[in-house]
Structure 1
Amino acid sequence: MTGMSLGDASRHVTSENPVFELKMALVRGTEYRVFKNIPPHARALVHASREAHADGAAEYLVFRDERWTYDAFLNEINMLSAVLEEDLGVRKGGRIALATRNCPEMLILMMAIASLGAVTVFLNAWWTTEELDFALRDSDAKIVFADAERIKRLTPLAVDLKLVMIGLRDGEALTPLKYSTLRDSAGHARTSEVDIDTDDDFAIMYSSGTTGHPKGVVLTHRGAMNAVFTWLMQAAMAPLIDPPPPDAAEAPRPSVLIVTPLFHVTATHPMFLLSLPAGAKLTLMDKWDAHEAARIIDREGITRFMGVPTQSADLVAASRDLCLSLDTLDFLGSGGAKRPAAQVVELAQAFPQANIATGWGMTETNANGIGMAGADYLARPGSAGRLYPPLQDLKFLDDTGSEVSVGEIGELTVKSPCNMRCYLNNPEATAEVLSDGWLRTGDLGYIDDEGYVTIVDRKKNIIIRGGENIACLDVEGALHRHPAVAEACAFSVPHTRLGETVGAAVQMRAGSTLTVQEMQDYLSDHIARFKIPEHIWIQAAPLPRSATDKIDRRALRAICLSKLNDLEGSS
């Protein structure tokens, strides 16, 4: 049986399946294609998805030795919603921060907060006190749920920022207010009746940009819901594009393993939120351990795994060490960073039953974007895939804002209802990237005549270390804090496992001396550990400059990498 084209499958599903019926909607002055019949907001999504989980009876959430049915999970959301409103005074539009490693309470709180029309502020669990201070001031979040390590970093800020800190798990020993006590005091569970508009704010997630501080990406309910149903529609289209054989066994219930941090959009959206309407079981890890992940996949029958490329490579090695086939896996995706082309074949050989997949998306797009899997990906391992239908539009622009031709390199620019509302408190940065619904992504690439997109470079000075976005100016700002530093420039250094790591060149002030270790120790108080340069080149001479008298980052990087290669070659 011959399969449909991507376009034909999209047209068939949107015309035949009422769930994916389209309409036009005016959003903040711009018209978009949107799904007509999907839940309008997160509270409606979590309740409407109960039927997909055996009317609430199916096992839904697994964390270590703890297990919840869907109804038990929904009950927890309703109880916490009541506690937030009645005991903590949370109201529509209020901002509540989460600062913790992955744990079930993050998911429960995220949905309880959303159920009240309030806004979850996701704080990066690796941030220092300094970085947490900026985000809390920027978001004006006063209530913070945190685990022990984050409470220690937040404590110096508590009085000045008037924080109400509520301990989660090991954090309960450090705070007067405890999650378990609040939960037990609820006494009852009830569904919130607060009126929520689909264009109300849903979450704030911080994303590194070209400025020294991270930018708060404001996401709406409409954006998140339309992204979720875009991915759900790809699953509905798949058998039309690649029809299964007539005697194919019924597919098992989807079972998802979350291994990336829930303060990133990859974990919250195409993993957690999608699991709700997809009827998928969810298993959560709080920290990456490849051998433990392999054992969980084997034990829980995991079908869907998505992580940064290094985690996929680690999983291959772990499965071999443990002699586990992991043959329940049918989807092995990559998010956060581009997978090396050589890894695509290796994964296909290690897990022949799985569709090896890749994708491109941003916090600013609610993770919606581009992707492909299986034979398409094996044939084009350097590509990011094709635009997910049916809501998005795409074009590539030159520096003047004019559209370039097929095959020519330009800045990837996308339009969809999934795009962010704005950067929080930053209208200038918002105006730089958003215009008439179009989002300029900062990624450079091209599209071929079959619609496949290849990303070739980043217009922004961003380093992607194992899926973590690191702004060069963020690192440089921390380096410049040291009184001995006259100039500093950060750049990416290739890394076989992480893809990229951070490098920096530093010019010292006259008469100053400093070792690499001393600089790294100093930085540990100012930026998160993953941002600290692994390689630092220290020199007395000025850093090279371009014709416009700016530091020539590209030339400097080439010089430093040449020195590194010479050093490694002689060792």
Structure 2
Amino acid sequence: MAGVTQRVFTNAAPTLLDILQFGRGHGGADFLVFADRRWTFDQFFADVDALAATLQHDMGVQPGDRIAIAMRNCSDWIITFAASVHVGAVAVLINSWGSAEELQFTLRDSDPAILAADLPRTRLGVDVLSERGIPVLFSDVDGDETGLESVPHLDVRTIRDAVAAGRGRDYVKAPQATHDTALLLYTSGSTGHPKGVLYRHIAVGQSLMHMMLVGFLGVEFGGPVELRAEASVEAHLVTVPLFHATGLFGGFLLPCAVGHKIVLLRKWDAETAMQVIEAEKITMMSTVPAILKDLLTHPRLADHDVSSIARVAAAGAATPADLPDLISDKLGIANRSSGYGMTETTSVCATMSGPVFDLKPTAAGIVSPIIDLRVVDVEEEVLPPGHEGEIQLRGVIVTPGYWHRDDLTHDAFTSDGWLRTGDLGRIDDDGFLHITGRIKEIVIRGGENIAPVEIENVAYRHTGVKEVAVFGVPDDAMGEELAMVCHPQPGFAPTEDELRRHMRNALPGFKVPKYIRLTDTPLPRNASEKIHRLAIRNNFTVDPIPSDSPASATRRPESVRRVVTGHDTQGKAVFVEDRLVEPISVAMTSTVYHQLWRADAPSTFPDSGAIGPSTTFFPQLGGYRFFLLTLPPGEGHGNLDGVDIDAGLRELQDKLPGVLETNDFDSPGMHTTETVDMEIVLSGEIVLELDDGIETTLRAGDVNIQNGTRHRWHNRGTQPAVVAVAMVGASRAKPS
């Protein structure tokens, strides 16, 4: 294609219609279960043929017309989709979880001949439907058509009536070519307007053959998977939206082709899912990690028999570090899988299952034989294995572009035809693909690139963590700081301090989130059931959430018992103050350095932004105010000229005998250099031991002194050094 040789499966179905035709060969076997209704394959295709006849004869659908579908997962969705394919229409899959603005934009953009929708989505689209005169093929899954009686000039026909009207009528199955457009899948639109991703018929067939290959390889290497717990047929629980590739291909097209039963849920609910698994003897779940973890950590899981589940597949997002063990512990199965793909690649890229999965359970999989993958740096130079960069893809299953958006298509592809995924990853020496993050999710803190997924995986190793999201928030001094929002496991109540200690044991200090919040409510998810990091970030505020707010269980200390600084042989702090002091955070300016810092001094000062509000001060410590900061090895910091740090500490010690102790005023490796005029960032942290003995980390730096003359300090030692900057009187300050 386009002068590029592409690898294909020679025996793949050439068109989407051919795939559906495979399903007709399964006759009277159970196929579809939704709510209290059931369909065999014969009954399902009888309804499909009846609706197709009505679409063709009564509603005037021609080959190439677009039929948009916007409704929750239900039997009407699947019947409408299949009927559309049979008459040669292009199915437009709309995010049914989107806003009114997104739905209306998609209708205007795709300009469908018909909208198939339930009551909520019809209501959201009434302005465009009336404006464009688009008829509605109505599903009563969420309420009947009487809810639309107040809407004028709306042409509504129920799917139930359309199926009844088409029974016994013939129609012509439209011819289709492999490179014709088969589908339009609109992205979720989490940033900007949704984009219509074009799928060709050949890509759909190739994608399904890839999925079959993965299944056959699992049998080849791991042996056949026997049905368990009195299950008599393979049964899939569809837990993700059908309007996305994962749901459409794994939840409908593949089971239809190979003769498996599918069970639809109106919406995801772990309790309902457990009941359905037990009643329908579900054998297979292909879903995103968040849903799988929600099921396996549910407090009532043991109350239901879910032993029929013999296979699970978690894809669509990075696999939490604890998920493989959770699958083994709760389901007792080793046949599991993971994968990586995207809407633009019909969900295909890398996959693995069974014994192959066990080799690298945290990897995304092995790259499909029908796709080319390369990893490039910021200059789009190809990187060797083991190096992290942007993943770029090319192959028969890659979309040719976006509907009516040549500009977006141009931006998405390189000049030589590679799709820019925006995902970061690497290929290891064994050929496994590892996803390390998203380019847009990378947090740049003080010039350091940090991938949130690395930090999330560490957090998931804590037994009290059920869901977590890490992201960057703006910071005046560092550019960005890390923030983490955590939803605990039922029955667990981890504290911010406990989580911070857990993170510190596995991560370097600059990767430990500055802000940690705990929430009693599950984290929001997008339409793909992935944790919606963008939504969480947009709703996050650096200001502390009130302690009585249900949005946060973060512990805010009211008093500090010991202030620990300095360092010992293990790099921990040693500076002790036994009296209770109140920590306060105030915004400061450089004029503070010229004030008398005593107990009767004002606790707030003019805020010009010269010193950021993250600086923490401890008032009333022997009548003096001071702040603390650490200097990691090799890093330099500074203070205003004229403030003698060592002398200030000694004066404090003289005035507070037996209370203020230090192990070393002149920390090993600490040296002063020449006086310089430059911008200096003060950055560090101290460890506090609270009244109840719990330690917490207090960041007392991130201070950007923008003007003035300073001494430059360097820590040339191998251990973190600590500086306590004590303001002991105006006589020690040199006015600028």
| TM-score band w.r.t. shorter chain | 0.7 to 0.9
Is contact 2:115–2:134 with CA below 8 Å preserved after alignment?
A: yes
- Following TM superposition, by how much is the alpha carbon of 1:189 offset from its aligned partner in structure 2, in angstroms? 4.8
Partner of 2:540: 535
Alignment of 1:14-53 (within 5 A): 27-51=1-25, 53=26
CA distance in 1, matches of 2:362, 2:330: 19
Partner of 1:69: 40
Partner of 1:550: none
CA distance in 1, matches of 2:3, 2:98: 36
Partner of 1:456: 436
CA distance in 2, matches of 1:144, 1:64: 23
Is contact 1:358–1:373 with CA below 8 Å preserved after alignment?
A: yes
Q: Which amino acid aligns with 1:420?
A: T
Is contact 1:358–1:371 with CA below 8 Å preserved after alignment?
A: yes
CA distance in 1, matches of 2:172, 2:119: 30
Deviation digits for residues 127-182 of structure 1 (CA, Å, limit 9, x no counterpart) = 22111121111111242111111122122332223322232112433354222112
Structure 1 residues 45 and 245: CA distance shift in structure 2, 3 A = closer
Partner of 2:147: 174
Structure 1 residues 251 and 432: CA distance shift in structure 2, 3 A = farther
Query: Please, which of 90, 99, 104 is the counterpart of residue 119 of structure 1?
Result: 90
Q: Which amino acid aligns with 1:49?
A: G
SS, match of residue 32 in structure 1: coil
CA distance in 1, matches of 2:310, 2:441: 35
- Following TM superposition, by how much is the alpha carbon of 1:254 offset from its aligned partner in structure 2, in angstroms? 2.1
Is contact 2:95–2:187 with CA below 8 Å preserved after alignment?
A: no
CA distance in 2, matches of 1:222, 1:272: 18
Query: Please, which of 147, 161, 165 is the counterpart of residue 136 of structure 2?
Result: 165
Is contact 2:242–2:251 with CA below 8 Å preserved after alignment?
A: no
Structure 1 residues 211 and 346: CA distance shift in structure 2, 3 A = closer
Partner of 2:364: 384
Is contact 2:98–2:188 with CA below 8 Å preserved after alignment?
A: no
Q: Does 1:405 align with 2:378?
A: no
Larger Rg: 2
CA distance in 1, matches of 2:255, 2:212: 9
Structure 1 residues 459 and 240: CA distance shift in structure 2, 3 A = same
Partner of 2:253: 273
CA distance in 2, matches of 1:497, 1:29: 53
Percent identity at matched positions? 31
CA distance in 1, matches of 2:329, 2:488: 19
CA distance in 2, matches of 1:346, 1:245: 20
CA distance in 1, matches of 2:482, 2:229: 50
SS, match of residue 68 in structure 1: strand
Q: Which amino acid aligns with 1:255?
A: A
Partner of 2:123: 152
Is contact 1:442–1:458 with CA below 8 Å preserved after alignment?
A: yes
CA distance in 2, matches of 1:197, 1:160: 33
Partner of 1:102: 73
Structure 1 residues 167 and 244: CA distance shift in structure 2, 3 A = closer
SS, match of residue 235 in structure 1: helix
Q: Which amino acid aligns with 2:252?
A: F
SS, match of residue 393 in structure 1: strand
Partner of 1:261: 241
Query: Please, which of 323, 326, 341 is the counterpart of residue 321 of structure 2?
Result: 341
Please list every run of 5 or more consecutive structure 1 residues that lacks an aligned counterpart in the other structure: 1-26, 473-488, 499-528, 545-557, 560-567
Is contact 1:413–1:438 with CA below 8 Å preserved after alignment?
A: yes
Q: Which amino acid aligns with 1:535?
A: F
Is contact 2:288–2:316 with CA below 8 Å preserved after alignment?
A: yes
Q: Which amino acid aligns with 1:178?
A: T
Partner of 1:293: 273
CA distance in 2, matches of 1:287, 1:250: 26
CA distance in 2, matches of 1:186, 1:174: 25
CA distance in 1, matches of 2:197, 2:333: 37
- Following TM superposition, by how much is the alpha carbon of 1:393 offset from its aligned partner in structure 2, in angstroms? 2.1
- Following TM superposition, by how much is the alpha carbon of 1:369 offset from its aligned partner in structure 2, in angstroms? 1.5
CA distance in 2, matches of 1:356, 1:244: 13
- Following TM superposition, by how much is the alpha carbon of 1:455 offset from its aligned partner in structure 2, in angstroms? 0.8
Partner of 2:264: 284
CA distance in 2, matches of 1:378, 1:198: 37
- Following TM superposition, by how much is the alpha carbon of 1:378 offset from its aligned partner in structure 2, in angstroms? 4.4
Please list every run of 5 or more consecutive structure 2 residues that lacks an aligned counterpart in the other structure: 149-155, 443-451, 457-468, 472-479, 490-530, 545-606, 613-682, 685-695, 699-736
SS, match of residue 373 in structure 2: strand
Alignment of 1:362-441 (within 5 A): 362-388=342-368, 390-435=369-414, 436-441=416-421
Bigger proportion of residues as helix: 1
CA distance in 2, matches of 1:189, 1:330: 42
Query: Please, which of 307, 328, 333 is the counterpart of residue 308 of structure 2?
Result: 328
Q: Which amino acid aligns with 1:456?
A: T
CA distance in 1, matches of 2:318, 2:38: 34
- Following TM superposition, by how much is the alpha carbon of 1:491 offset from its aligned partner in structure 2, in angstroms? 10
- Following TM superposition, by how much is the alpha carbon of 1:375 offset from its aligned partner in structure 2, in angstroms? 4.5
- Following TM superposition, by how much is the alpha carbon of 1:541 offset from its aligned partner in structure 2, in angstroms? 9.5
CA distance in 2, matches of 1:182, 1:249: 40
CA distance in 1, matches of 2:191, 2:539: 21
CA distance in 2, matches of 1:99, 1:210: 17
CA distance in 2, matches of 1:541, 1:320: 55
Structure 1 residues 191 and 490: CA distance shift in structure 2, 3 A = farther
- Following TM superposition, by how much is the alpha carbon of 1:278 offset from its aligned partner in structure 2, in angstroms? 2.0
Q: Which amino acid aligns with 1:421?
A: P
Structure 1 residues 177 and 193: CA distance shift in structure 2, 3 A = closer
Is contact 1:325–1:351 with CA below 8 Å preserved after alignment?
A: no
**Given the two structures, how large is their TM-score scaled by the length of structure 2?**
0.59
Alignment of 1:108-257 (within 5 A): 108-169=79-140, 170-175=143-148, 176-190=156-170, 192-208=172-188, 212-243=192-223, 253-257=233-237
Deviation digits for residues 348-392 of structure 1 (CA, Å, limit 9, x no counterpart) = 11111252322111010111121223444445333111113x322
Partner of 2:55: 84
**Given the two structures, how large is their TM-score scaled by the length of structure 1?**
0.74
Q: Which amino acid aligns with 2:201?
A: H
Deviation digits for residues 27-55 of structure 1 (CA, Å, limit 9, x no counterpart) = 3543322222332212221112333x2xx
Is contact 1:294–1:318 with CA below 8 Å preserved after alignment?
A: no
SS, match of residue 286 in structure 2: strand
